Structure 1
Amino acid sequence: MRFVRHRTDQGPRLAVLDDEDVLIDLPAALDLPTLLGDDGRLFETADTALRTASRGVPLDAADLTAPLDPPTVRDFSTFPEHTAGIARNRDPDAGVPEEFWEIPAFYFSNPYATVGPHDDVPVPPGCERFDFELEVAAVVGRAGRDLTVAQAAEHIAGFVVFNDFSARDVQFHEMRLRLGPAKGKDTATALGTVFVTADELQDRASGTSYDLTMRVLVNDEPIGADRLDNMAWSFPALAAYASRGTWIRPGDLLGSGTCRNGCLAELWGRYGEDVHPPLRPGDVVTTEVELLGGTRNRIVPGGAPHEIRPGSGPGNACW
């Protein structure tokens, strides 16, 4: 099944899509994490709505917001070519580090930064090198802790397109302290138009993932493309690692990490900074993933950073 959330006069409303891409509203006040947390309730609620509810607006006419508000967001690194390209921003001879093959590393992103598939995205304060990241996120459907990879596969409810906007200059500056990324990823994460349940992709299973094409465009100019099954780590492996020593819960997002050629920073590292300028106000970033929909966000001006000074230290630098 495929689910969307749209804006109405009564607030955001979750809906299931019928075979003609028309929204069929689910009962008010229901959200995706709540329905996922009650085993089987999502499908039962959607089945009832499809049989009994009145038809709504077509998908292409709906005012869509993000399909869910995730409680937590973990963003992994699973595409080796992307990892090598990013590393070459600092070392032109860099490759894929050994640690990449030892653990599916991730960082926690900001769930409050979630924006809709067509929302405007402001440039973060003080950012001069704004970027996008083409990804897919798995949505956790059942709570679990210390899961094996086999067990974790049963805890993935479905998938959504994930565009992790990134302030690269802020990110690389803060990571000199061996922390982060944090503030460099703090402004906007766009989620795609549609949440697609895992059963919809069964016949596209391939290798560690799914045989789905991915591409990203800026101002309708193709920038990069890849396939989701080029992931080196599977989504169940991500869920298992995320659950190690802690809980994953319904609605949590597990990002695939950026695909090959799925962001500007990777291209800068591989081909030089002249290959494409950073995002500027007025640019439109479009992501597309086969069967999963995508995003289309316009970049708009952001605010100026407020001065912050330490209590002591060389120069009392402000940022």
Structure 2
Amino acid sequence: MKLATYQNATRDGQLMVVSRDLRHAVAVPQIAANLQAALDNWAQAEPQLQEVYASLNQGALASAVAFEQERCHSPLPRAYQWADGSAYLNHVELVRKARGAEVPDSFYHDPLMYQGGSDAFLPPHAPIPLRDAAWGLDFEGEVAVITGDVPLGADAAECGSHIRLLMLVNDVTLRNLIPNELAKGFGFFQSKPATAFSPVAVTPDELGAAWQDGKVHLPLLVDYNDAFYGKPNAGQEMQFNFPQLVAHVAKTRELVAGSIIGSGTISNRERSTGSCCLAEQRMIEIIDSGAAVTPFMKLGDKVRIEMKDAQGASIFGVIAQTVVAHD
């Protein structure tokens, strides 16, 4: 099943069921006004939404309209929880190696995670506002899951059963603000502005065989300024799968329905796959030649993030954003 949120006069938007081919959509106010309401009542809402989805794919709904990705907000325009991991240790290893530091052994057994701001996300086709280019604006291509209610202390096996939906992510980052924040010993805050998610969120069954072992075994396709930038496989070299990442959060707290857990920047050791962020390319340059030459994003720069199935069809729609001056 595929779900989206159209922007409207409310903060949480209008829930839309979207056809598998992303060509048509239908509003379902009789089931739930918005995605959060559906997640809060998933046991009752999910079978009704699946029924609408089946009819939509069969072309049996007269109320269906053409699906417009540009009208979408992030599937959850705001969320109760947004916690982002760093499950691809190649990314961590490159960052550490570039500054001559070793990766602690604990990183291979205990996930890295930070708590992001979830009060306001960016729509997937909205511009990225930039106040100061010196802050080092970067994009980060990721995958994320949306959970149902997860009890305190749930293990990975149980947490897997609470994964409701998956999305793509552009975890916008201000790289040059990170060092001073980390030096304080209290983690990211100003360096992590509003995040954007894909127009469409999908249930795990939509991925078919690509959803295995709590991972998405498909390439994430990233273009930067209309040119190929990266296509690392999201299922390869993921040290911690999504059930493990959710369980990491649940170790000390309950998660409420609508919590979002991210994978961190997707990264493969094979360099021909490219990267999902500028920082990684800069780290490779430092390792190879002693200096980073790739600049961070500037006004007018564009990033495009998408994932396609084995037949070449877009699964989640496209995140397409341009950097603009903050007004």
Length-normalised TM-score, structure 1: 0.86
- Equivalent AA in structure 1 for residue 266 of structure 2: C
Answer yes or no: is the 8 Å Cα contact 2:36–2:258 preserved in 1: yes
Aligned to 1:269: 283
Provide structure 1 residue ranges, at least 5 long, that are not aligned to the other structure.
304-319
Aligned equivalents of 1:125, 1:221: Cα separation in 2: 25
State yes or no: 1:107 paired with 2:120. no
The alpha-carbon deviation at position 102 of structure 1 amounts to 1.8
The alpha-carbon deviation at position 224 of structure 1 amounts to 2.1
- Equivalent AA in structure 2 for residue 296 of structure 1: A
Answer yes or no: is the 8 Å Cα contact 1:26–1:45 preserved in 2: no
- Equivalent AA in structure 2 for residue 112 of structure 1: D
Q: Aligned to 2:295, what secondary structure does the other structure show?
A: coil
Match of 1:79 among 88, 98, 111: 88
Q: Which has the higher strand share?
A: 1
The alpha-carbon deviation at position 89 of structure 1 amounts to 4.2
Provide structure 2 residue ranges, at least 5 long, that are not aligned to the other structure.
268-274, 309-314
The within-5 A match list for 1:14-25 is: 14-20=15-21, 21-25=23-27
State yes or no: 1:118 paired with 2:120. no
Runs of 4+ in 1 over 6 A off after TM superposition: none
Distance 1:147 1:286, change over 3 A: same
Q: Aligned to 1:55, what secondary structure does the other structure show?
A: coil
The alpha-carbon deviation at position 233 of structure 1 amounts to 0.5
Distance 1:97 1:54, change over 3 A: farther
The alpha-carbon deviation at position 35 of structure 1 amounts to 1.1
Distance 1:9 1:101, change over 3 A: closer
Comparing 288-297 with 176-185, greater Cα deviation is found at: 288-297
The alpha-carbon deviation at position 24 of structure 1 amounts to 0.7
The within-5 A match list for 1:128-207 is: 128-185=135-192, 187-207=193-213
Structure 1 residues 183-234: Cα deviation after superposition (integer angstroms, max 9, x where no partner): 100x220110110011212421345512111122211112222111121111
State yes or no: 1:301 paired with 2:325. yes
Q: How many pairs are equivalent?
A: 300
Aligned to 2:270: none
Aligned equivalents of 1:195, 1:61: Cα separation in 2: 12
Match of 1:209 among 194, 215, 220: 215
Comparing 187-196 with 201-210, greater Cα deviation is found at: 201-210
Aligned equivalents of 1:174, 1:62: Cα separation in 2: 35
RMSD: 2.2
Structure 1 residues 104-155: Cα deviation after superposition (integer angstroms, max 9, x where no partner): 1200000124111100111145743110111011101233211011111111
Match of 1:38 among 36, 41, 56: 41
Aligned equivalents of 2:124, 2:243: Cα separation in 1: 25
The within-5 A match list for 1:45-64 is: 45-47=48-50, 49-50=52-53, 51=55, 54-60=62-68, 63-64=71-72
The alpha-carbon deviation at position 164 of structure 1 amounts to 0.6
Q: Aligned to 2:91, what secondary structure does the other structure show?
A: helix
The alpha-carbon deviation at position 17 of structure 1 amounts to 1.0
Distance 1:44 1:208, change over 3 A: closer
Aligned equivalents of 1:90, 1:124: Cα separation in 2: 28
Q: Aligned to 1:88, what secondary structure does the other structure show?
A: helix
Match of 1:224 among 225, 230, 235: 230
The alpha-carbon deviation at position 287 of structure 1 amounts to 0.9
Distance 1:151 1:125, change over 3 A: same
Answer yes or no: is the 8 Å Cα contact 1:147–1:243 preserved in 2: yes
Distance 1:206 1:106, change over 3 A: same
Answer yes or no: is the 8 Å Cα contact 2:204–2:211 preserved in 1: no
Aligned equivalents of 1:252, 1:163: Cα separation in 2: 17
Aligned equivalents of 1:61, 1:207: Cα separation in 2: 30
State yes or no: 1:97 paired with 2:104. yes
Q: Aligned to 1:145, what secondary structure does the other structure show?
A: coil
Distance 1:154 1:258, change over 3 A: same
Aligned to 2:271: none
Distance 1:10 1:247, change over 3 A: closer
Distance 1:193 1:75, change over 3 A: same
Comparing 277-286 with 122-131, greater Cα deviation is found at: 122-131
Q: Aligned to 1:237, what secondary structure does the other structure show?
A: helix
The alpha-carbon deviation at position 239 of structure 1 amounts to 0.8
The within-5 A match list for 1:251-270 is: 251-260=258-267, 261-270=275-284
Q: Aligned to 2:49, what secondary structure does the other structure show?
A: helix
